[in-house]
Amino acid sequence: MAPIDNALAALRSLEPGEQINITQVAKKYGCNCTTLSKRWRGVQGSIAQKLKN
């Protein structure tokens, strides 16, 4: 898995009501925090998704 996919999985595994810190997760998994934030919010998809369409 790519680091961003691992970071997204970590965000999904958080309990409801648990504090989300995108910057901290991005640093932990070595990915860009802006890209992670956009992916998390559903604003931006992966290149693989883009090529599928």
- DSSP secondary structure, 3-45, as one string: HHHHHHHHHHTSPTTPPP-HHHHHHHHT--HHHHHHHHHTSS-
Please list the pLDDT of the chain residue by residue as tens digits (53 residues).
799 999 999 999 999 999 999 999 999 999 999 999 999 998 887 777 777 87
How high is the pLDDT of residue 20?
Answer: 92
Half-sphere exposure of residue 15: CA atoms within 13 angstroms, side-chain side: 2
The verdict on pTM exceeding 0.75 is yes
